[in-house]
């Protein structure tokens, strides 16, 4: 793709430049010389146009029968299948993850789109009895209105699809602001929706920086719901912005996820899972397995083998064959990782491998960091408490399942957790006691499926869930309907 390509905003069914005429560069994190394209640096004026377009399109889209809305989604999913390889390679260029993972990201968008299209014939409510005679009761879903979707860079097509597809099938219109680091994947998704027949103004996309485009979108008075995925710090600001007008708000934020490895675990399986959970997507997942609590009876064995494997992971450009770990998304993220590694050393954690930037040769023009393992960590260390969002894994020895559960729960987050054990009693005890929204047995903390609720407890979110039918509960309002055919006044709770 020519590096001079200028990508535009999508507003009211047209591809348009930003009001200011300003743009920003989309840069390959594996090769800073690779300029992927110019994207619009939008501001409040562009946001206002996009929201107005969504508001204008809302009445007709809301009244379109959901199975007809679903036809747009089915067609979108089929087009995504045709373009999966091209979109995956675009994603690796702008985000860095190995192309095999990028294919999985596009596949997740395909899965979510098909799933939500199916819900077009299943937006079920309840029919129920009445406490009064000659009276019928039911509940139906109604759309919310204009929805603002603010998405992150680590899953630049999957997470936009998680938000777009349930919002659309419920009858809402949307304005999406993709992460400035990865706008092309969202652009590809929106262009596919347009080609599949999304009516003018139903889907709008404005690219830009958070403070300049994201903030005015979240604050816009005509936006009735905001779905945000990102950091706790920004999520807190989004919550404050939504509070005065009581906008619906779904927050999906950080995680500091743990794998518990018991002394009866299949160690080979646990090693494979911890390696994939810790270093898949270069550790840049909210569900990354960044802590491993290992029973003391197998700690030394596990730590040695895990470190050896982490050291041998192939780091490089995700488009190259055999690469297992790509770059970090940006220079800023690389500096964050460097700071946390320094903190870990100062705290007395034992650096078992990595701990340095990779430079020279194939790594010369990218933001690469060696897969890093800290051993003999104490649960209260900052590297075991705070989300690093990089290829850094902390190993924590423990004496028992009870202690491992206590370590696992001893953080401000509650997204995902896992246990490796052959003991069904221990598996069920951990399943019950872990304070996380997602739990795995004999699998790492990553790998959620689109038909189950996704989200977490505590400071990971605000109680909503994405994916599955749970997403419909955020993107729709319940309306309870009572039909009295008695031909007389009946007073609920009063007439007998």
Active site residues: 252, 286
CA distances from residue 174 to 50, 52, 78, 191, 383 in whole angstroms, order as listed: 9, 11, 21, 14, 38
Cα 209–chain centre separation: 18
Instruction: Give the tokens for residue 456.
Output: 């977490």
Residues comprising the chain, all counted: 496
What are the DSSP E strand ranges found in 67-128? 127-128
Q: What string of DSSP letters covers 126-158? A: -EE--SSSSEEEEEEEEE-SEEEEE--SSSTTH
* Beta carbons of 373 and 354 less than 8 angstroms apart: yes
Beta carbons of 166 and 471 less than 8 angstroms apart: yes
Please give the structure tokens belonging to residue 306: 């895990």
The token pair at 491 is: 């007073």
Token look-up 């290829």 returns 391
**Residue of 31, 39, 23, 156 lying closest to 90 (CA atoms):** 156
Give, in order, the Cα–Cα distances in Å from 324 to each of 108, 155, 167, 276: 20, 17, 34, 9
Q: What are phi and psi of 427, to 5 degrees?
A: -60, -45
Please state, as a whole number, how many other Cβ atoms lie within 10 Å of the Cβ of residue 139.
13
Q: Is 370 helix (H, G, I), strand (E, B) or coil?
A: coil
What is the rounded distance in angstroms from the CA atom of residue 361 to the CA atom of residue 340?
25
Q: How far apart are CA 207 and CA 493, in angstroms?
A: 53
- Tell me how far apart the alpha carbons of residues 97 and 223 are, in angstroms, rounded to a whole number: 33
Tokens of 77: 């999913």
User: How many whole angstroms separate alpha carbon 345 and alpha carbon 374?
Assistant: 9
């Amino acid at each position: 793709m020519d590096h001079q390509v200028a990508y535009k905003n999508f507003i009211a069914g047209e591809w348009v430049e930003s009001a200011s005429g300003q743009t920003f560069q989309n840069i390959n994190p594996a090769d800073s010389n690779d300029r992927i394209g110019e994207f619009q640096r939008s501001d409040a004026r562009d946001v206002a146009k996009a929201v107005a377009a969504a508001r204008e399109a809302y009445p007709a889209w809301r009244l379109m029968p959901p199975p007809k809305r679903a036809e747009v989604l089915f067609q979108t999913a089929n087009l995504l299948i045709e373009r999966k390889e091209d979109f995956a390679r675009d994603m690796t260029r702008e985000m860095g993850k190995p192309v095999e993972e990028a294919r999985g990201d596009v596949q997740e968008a395909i899965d979510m789109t098909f799933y939500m299209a199916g819900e077009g014939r299943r937006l079920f409510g309840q029919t129920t009895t009445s406490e009064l005679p000659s009276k019928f009761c039911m509940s139906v879903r109604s759309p919310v209105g204009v929805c603002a979707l603010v998405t992150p860079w680590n899953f630049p097509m999957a997470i936009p699809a998680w938000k777009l597809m349930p919002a659309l099938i419920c009858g809402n219109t949307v304005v999406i602001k993709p992460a400035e680091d990865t706008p092309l994947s969202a652009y590809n998704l929106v262009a596919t929706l347009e080609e599949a027949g999304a009516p003018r103004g139903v889907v709008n996309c404005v690219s830009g920086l958070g403070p300049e485009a994201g903030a005015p979108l979240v604050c816009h008075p005509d936006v009735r719901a905001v779905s945000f995925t990102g950091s706790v710090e920004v999520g807190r600001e989004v919550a404050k912005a939504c509070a005065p007008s009581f906008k619906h708000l779904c927050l999906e934020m950080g995680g500091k996820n743990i794998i518990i490895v018991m002394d009866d675990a299949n160690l080979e399986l646990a090693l494979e899972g911890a390696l994939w959970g810790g270093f898949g997507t270069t550790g840049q997942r909210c569900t990354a397995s960044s802590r491993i609590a290992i029973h003391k009876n197998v700690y030394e064995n596990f730590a040695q083998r895990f470190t050896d494997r982490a050291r041998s992971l192939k780091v490089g450009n995700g488009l190259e064959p055999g690469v297992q770990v790509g770059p970090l998304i940006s220079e800023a993220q690389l500096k964050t990782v460097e700071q946390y590694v320094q903190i870990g050393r100062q705290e007395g954690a034992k650096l078992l491998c990595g701990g340095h930037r990779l430079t020279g040769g194939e790594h010369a023009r990218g933001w690469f960091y060696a897969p890093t393992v800290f051993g003999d960590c104490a649960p209260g260390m900052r590297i075991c408490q705070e989300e690093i969002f990089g290829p850094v894994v902390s190993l924590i020895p423990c004496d028992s399942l009870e202690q491992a559960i206590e370590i696992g729960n001893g953080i401000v987050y509650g997204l995902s957790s896992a246990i490796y054990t052959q003991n069904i009693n221990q598996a069920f005890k951990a399943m019950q006691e872990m304070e996380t929204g997602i739990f795995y047995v004999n699998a790492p903390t990553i790998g959620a499926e689109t038909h189950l609720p996704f989200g977490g407890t505590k400071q990971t979110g605000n109680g909503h869930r994405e994916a599955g039918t749970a997403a419909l509960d955020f993107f729709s309002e319940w309306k309870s309907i009572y039909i009295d055919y008695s031909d007389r006044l009946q007073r609920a709770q009063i007439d007998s």
